[in-house]
Amino acid sequence: MGKKILVTGGTGLVGRGIEFAALSDKREDEEWIFLSSKDCNLTSMDETRKLFEMHKPTHVIHLAAMVGGLFSNLRQNAEFFRVNMLINDSVLNCCREFKVEKLVSCLSTCIFPDKTTYPIDETMVHNGPPHSSNFGYAYAKRMLDVQNHAYRQQYGCQFTSVIPTNIFGPHDNFNLEDSHVIPALIHKCYNAKRDGTAVTVFGSGTPLRQFIYSHDLGRLMVWTLREYTETEPIILSVGEEDEVSIKQVAEVVAKEMGVENLQFDTTKADGQFKKTANNAKLRQYLPDFQFTPFEQAMKESCAWFVENYEKARK
Ligand code: NAP
Ligand code: GFB
C-alpha cells in the first residue's frame, strides 16, 4: 500500500523546502499533502481529529509551530510555550489514535542547554536549562522528545524527531518584528537600497551560528521520513567548520543585495553566543550528502525575496 504523507506547517519555510525536495525525487507510492493553519488550527484537538479523519494519513511530518527569531521569543515566552505544547499534544495524540505508521517532528538546536560543552550532540537535549531568551519555545520542543519516547514505550508508536540548526531560504518569514536574522537582513537591505539608507544589524555581530538551506533540509527530512528508524533525534546540520558569525552573514547578505553601509546596534540583544552542533550521526548515515554552498543558497534566497516581494510574508 502507498504512503499518504501529511505535512503540518507545510506552507512555511521548511514545508516549502520539503515540497521542493519531494517533487525533485518523486515516488509513485507517495502522496504528499501540505497543510497551512487555514486547513486546521492544530491547537484544537477536535479540529485536529477532524483533519486526521478526513485525510487518514499513514505518515506525518510535523512542522507546524509558533516560530520566531530571538526578539519575538524574548517578548512572548509564555505564548511560545502554550501554543507549541497545544499543537504538539493534538498532533501526537491524533497520530496515535489514527495509527499513523511513522511521525517525524521538528526540534531545533536552540533547545540545547546554554551552559554546555561543545560540540553539542543528540544525547544532550535534556542536560540543563536552555538559553533564557527562548525557554518557552525550548521546553515545549524538548517535550516532543519526551512524548516520542512515551508514545513508543506505551503504544509502540514509531515517532521520532530531527534537530535542524538555523534555517533560511525561499518562503521564509521576512516580517521585521518576528523574523530570524537572515530574512530580517534581506528585508532590511532591500529597504536600505530602495531608500538610500544604512542597514542596522542588531547586536554585536559576534554570535556564531550554523545555517542550513531550506532545500537541503527538505532533502534530509524526506530521507528521514523514508529511511530513519530510531526514536532518538538526529541533528540535521552543516559541519562545525561551516559556523559563521552574524557579522559575516550580514556582509554576505549586503554583498548579494548590493548594499554597502552596515551599522551595528549594540544596545540590542545578542541572544545565545553559540550552539555549535555536531553532525557526525548524520554523516554516519549519509557520508556523501552535499550541502549547497552558503553563498549560493544566499543568492537564491535573496533573488526569491526580490522576485516575490509582493507576496512574501513581511
Ligand atoms: P514558518 O515558516 O513560520 O511556518 C510555520 C508553519 O506552521 C506554517 O505553515 C503555519 O501555517 C503553520 N502553523 C502555525 N501555527 C499553526 C496552527 N496553530 N495550526 C496549524 N498550523 C500552524 O516556520 P518554519 O521556519 O518553516 O518552521 C518549521 C519547523 O521548523 C518548526 O517546527 C520550527 O520550530 C522548526 N525550526 C525552524 C527553524 C528556523 O530557523 N526557521 C530552526 C529550527 C527549527 P500558516 O502558513 O497558515 O501560518
Ligand atoms: O535569527 P535569530 O533571531 O536567531 O538571531 P537565534 C541570530 C542573531 O542575529 C542574534 C542577530 O545574535 C541577533 O542579535 N541579529 C542581527 C538579528 N540583526 C537581527 C535582526 O534584524 N533580526 C534578528 N532576529 N536577529 C532563535 C531562537 O534564536 O533561533 C528561536 O530565539 C529559534 O527559538 C531560532 O529556534 C532558530 O539563533 O538567536
DSSP per-residue codes, 140-206 = HHHHHHHHHHHHHHHH---EEEEEE-EEE-TT-B--TTT--HHHHHHHHHHHHHHHT-PEEEES-S-
Q: What is the pLDDT of residue 144?
A: 98
Q: Ligand 2 in contact with 74 (CB < 6 A)?
A: no
Instruction: Just list the catalytic residues.
Output: 137
- For ligand 1, the distance from its centroid to the CA atom of residue 115, given in whole angstroms, is 27
Q: Residues 41-75: pLDDT tens digits?
A: 999 999 999 999 999 999 999 999 999 999 999 99
Give the residue-averaged pLDDT of 97-123.
96
The residue whose C-alpha atom lies closest to atom 22 belonging to ligand 2 is 181
Q: What is the pLDDT of residue 44?
A: 98
Q: What is the pLDDT of residue 227?
A: 97
Cis peptide before 119 (omega within 30 of 0): yes
CB contact burial 144-182 (16+ within 10 A = b; e otherwise):
bbebbeebeeeeebbbbbbbbbbbbbbbbbbbeebbbbb
Q: Which ligand has the nearest atom to the CA of 114?
A: 2
Q: What is the pLDDT of residue 222?
A: 98
Residue 191 has pLDDT above 90, yes or no: yes
pLDDT band at 1 (very low <50, low <70, confident <90, very high): confident
CATH of 3-167+210-239, one of 3.40.50.720, 3.40.640.10, 3.40.47.10, 3.30.1360.40: 3.40.50.720
Q: Ligand 2 in contact with 269 (CB < 6 A)?
A: yes
The residue whose C-alpha atom lies closest to atom 16 belonging to ligand 2 is 202
Among 203, 177, 187, CA closest to 301: 187
Give the residue-averaged pLDDT of 241-247.
97
Give the residue-averaged pLDDT of 124-135.
97
The residue whose C-alpha atom lies closest to atom 6 belonging to ligand 1 is 9
Domain regions of the chain by residue span = 3-167+210-239, 170-208+241-274+293-307
* CATH code of the domain occupying 170-208+241-274+293-307: 3.90.25.10
Q: Ligand 2 in contact with 133 (CB < 6 A)?
A: yes
Mean pLDDT of the chain: 97
Q: Ligand 2 in contact with 277 (CB < 6 A)?
A: no
Residue 139 near residue 212, CB atoms below 8 Å = no
Among 3, 13, 10, 2, CA closest to 171: 13
Q: Ligand 2 in contact with 137 (CB < 6 A)?
A: yes
Minimum-distance ligand 1 atom for the alpha carbon of 164: 43
User: Which grid cell sits at 84?
Assistant: 507549541
The C-alpha R_g of the chain, in whole angstroms, comes to 19
pTM of the model: 0.97
Q: What is the pLDDT of residue 217?
A: 98
The residue whose C-alpha atom lies closest to atom 22 belonging to ligand 1 is 37
Residue 301's SS3 state is helix
On the question of a common fold for 3-167+210-239 and 170-208+241-274+293-307, the answer reads no
Residue 165 has pLDDT above 90, yes or no: yes
Residue 255 has pLDDT above 80, yes or no: yes
